[in-house]
Structure 1
Amino acid sequence: MRTADNGFMRFFLALLLVLSISPLALADEEPSPPLWEWGLGLGYIRYADYPSSDEYSDLMLPFPTFQYRGEYLRADDREGGRAYLFKSDAWSLEFSGGGRLPLDSSKNLAREGMENLPLVLDGGPQLVWSSGGTWEFQLAPFLSAAAYGTYIRQNGMRFKAQVIYRWESYARGPFSSPIYISGTTALEMNAASQEYMQTYFEVDPMFATASRAAYNARAGFLNNNLSYYQRFSSGRFSLYIGASVSDYTWSANRSSPLHRSDLNVGYGVGMIYQFGESARPSVAPEDTQGVINRYRQQRHERLIPID
């Protein structure tokens, strides 16, 4: 683990800028994707060890991919993962989530001698307002769970408010090959319960040292996060780049000895090759509906039979 490499970060952000503003020859529209597809990918990410850490981890690994774009459930590289509970023209109630990777505390100076950090997964309903697929506002209370080896415990709650802007274009590449380009910029604010905050900021007296005082974590504001993501696809091949900046200046636990930095910067790059897909096309985003909508429709049809 090392601190952020400023030279590489400047190069990476410059690459994002060049790719995002390159002139493009727009075509009429992007072809409809398949209902499902699978492939293999290779990715690299650099991320802070934990919220407000001043040390970073690097992760590079191959991974399988599966994308599905159905009527109620969608999990792909455009919209992320979401299950529709209820949906109208502008509003929807969805099930979604997020999480953070575990950490071996012996590899982080600030947490040396403390318990390892668990794999944390958050999930729950989120209320979404969407404007034609370009602007989106999300508000969610997520339940959190922490996986400590062979057991899982409840880990409090995380509260998220997020504004998202999406764009897409269709272009011709240097060899007249079609290239589909999509991007997302998101501004997110997070707060959390005391139990959630204890995972990252609590210092039990038994782990206190001369340079790490005991500390009782408290509920409140966690961070602001600005993220950028862009995808380039041609045929069966896709390239992904992204970066995020998290600000902990207003964190409720800024006094914790484990709060080591007001700013965390993460970035990553990945590529996927698609090996197989369905012959059936995906359900268009405007044709998706929630399971509650479908239940109400079926109930109405049973009460009022249609000849």
Structure 2
Amino acid sequence: MPTPQARHRARALMGCVLLMAAAGHTAQAAQEQPLWEVGLGAAALHFPAYRGSDQGQGLLLPVPYLVYRGDFFKVDRDGVRAQLFDSDRVELTFSGALSPPASTRDVRARAGMPDLRATFEVGPQLDLTLWQTQRRSATLKLLLPVRAAFTLEQRPQHVGWVFHPKLNLDVAHVGGLAGWNLGLQAGPLWGDRRQHNHFYGVTAPYATGERPAYAAAAGFGGMQYVVGVSKRYPNHWVGAFLRYDNLTGARFVNSPLVRTRHHVAAGVAVSWVLGSSATRVAVDD
């Protein structure tokens, strides 16, 4: 069973990824920037215990700020990724994602069941540029990630596959505000049977009169919508995001662990850049 400290570390890491990935990552004209930047900040987050839970939690966490702009390996507001192939309209990357843990002590629907471990996802992602302005101040992309999911623990367990195609619109200097970037994402999720059962399955030993046994099926996992804003100042970065999930029509919606079909996650963060590389690289940031 993960310790409270391990759960907090997982939540802190998840919060950092959520904020940096969701708070806008606008493509602009190429410019020179440091090869790497490091810093530290704080984030205030509120999110459900899992998609479909009617219980949420709020956290105030320290989060790291890390950017690396290598030719192949990159760490930026898109997350941790490896760029495998690039062209003007098509980009193949290697990306990841995280989901938080949930303790049975904190979630009534899972009372008596094993703790829900944090998971990480990793796999290839194909990005297709559908439209962009001449000066690249606005870009519309179709993102096609396929990821394998594993529990985040000493001995990770494979917990299925996730496919999350989404439209992504990035707009620079939104509303005429210099430096403020807007990011919008929308798309469905699909998962296999193992993925859905990790979150929504109820095996016979944990079935009760109010929580019958349930085996989840593979397929549609609901819709997800994200809006994020961010701005980079000379020595610090600020960002915020709002995410809405709608589970109507999901294959697991009849699970006794699904207590609501609608929920919202949100977060704000500020990070201070404490150091950067003297080496400069040309990037489309």
> Normalization by structure 2: what TM-score?
0.83
- Residue equivalent to 2:86: 87
Shift of 1:159: 0.9
Conserved 8 A contact 1:182-1:232: yes
Taking a change above 3 Å as real, the CA distance of residues 198 and 171 of structure 1, as seen in their structure-2 partners, is closer
Which deviates more, 57-66 or 153-162?
A: 57-66
- Residue equivalent to 2:95: 96
Conserved 8 A contact 2:168-2:185: yes
2:143 counterpart (138, 142, 153): 138
- CA distance in 2 between counterparts of 1:71 and 1:31 reads 15
Give the residue type in structure 2 aligned to 1:246. Answer: D
Conserved 8 A contact 1:36-1:282: no
- Residue equivalent to 2:44: 44
- CA distance in 2 between counterparts of 1:170 and 1:52 reads 32
Shift of 1:163: 0.6
- Unaligned 5+ runs, structure 1: 1-27, 174-178, 287-307
- Residue equivalent to 1:64: 64
- Unaligned 5+ runs, structure 2: 1-27
Taking a change above 3 Å as real, the CA distance of residues 109 and 277 of structure 1, as seen in their structure-2 partners, is same
Shift of 1:234: 2.1
Shift of 1:29: 7.8
- CA distance in 2 between counterparts of 1:172 and 1:216 reads 51
Q: Deviations over 1:220-252 (max 9, x none)?
A: 111210001111222202211110000100110
Q: CA RMSD in A?
A: 2.2
Q: What secondary structure, in the 3-state scheme, does the structure 2 residue paired with 1:65 have?
A: strand
Conserved 8 A contact 1:69-1:282: yes
1:283-298 residue pairs with structure 2 within 5 A?
A: 283-285=282-284
1:219-258 residue pairs with structure 2 within 5 A?
A: 219-258=218-257
Conserved 8 A contact 1:69-1:283: no
Shift of 1:170: 9.0
Conserved 8 A contact 2:150-2:157: yes
Give the residue type in structure 1 aligned to 2:211. Answer: R
Q: What secondary structure, in the 3-state scheme, does the structure 2 residue paired with 1:252 have?
A: coil
- Residue equivalent to 2:265: 266
Stretches of 4+ aligned residues off by more than 3 angstroms: 28-32, 170-173
Q: Deviations over 1:97-143 (max 9, x none)?
A: 21201111121110111000011111111111024461111112211
Conserved 8 A contact 2:30-2:283: no
Q: Deviations over 1:133-192 (max 9, x none)?
A: 611111122111113x4321111101110110001129999xxxxx62212100021100
Conserved 8 A contact 1:171-1:180: no
- CA distance in 1 between counterparts of 2:248 and 2:176 reads 43
Shift of 1:31: 6.3
Q: What secondary structure, in the 3-state scheme, does the structure 1 residue paired with 2:228 have?
A: strand
1:113-262 residue pairs with structure 2 within 5 A?
A: 113-130=112-129, 131-132=131-132, 134-147=139-152, 149-169=153-173, 180-262=179-261
The number of aligned residues is 252
Bigger radius of gyration: 1
Give the residue type in structure 1 aligned to 2:164. Answer: K
Q: What secondary structure, in the 3-state scheme, does the structure 1 residue paired with 2:40 have?
A: strand
Conserved 8 A contact 1:190-1:221: yes
Shift of 1:285: 2.9
- CA distance in 2 between counterparts of 1:170 and 1:185 reads 12
Give the residue type in structure 2 aligned to 1:158. Answer: V
- CA distance in 2 between counterparts of 1:40 and 1:232 reads 16
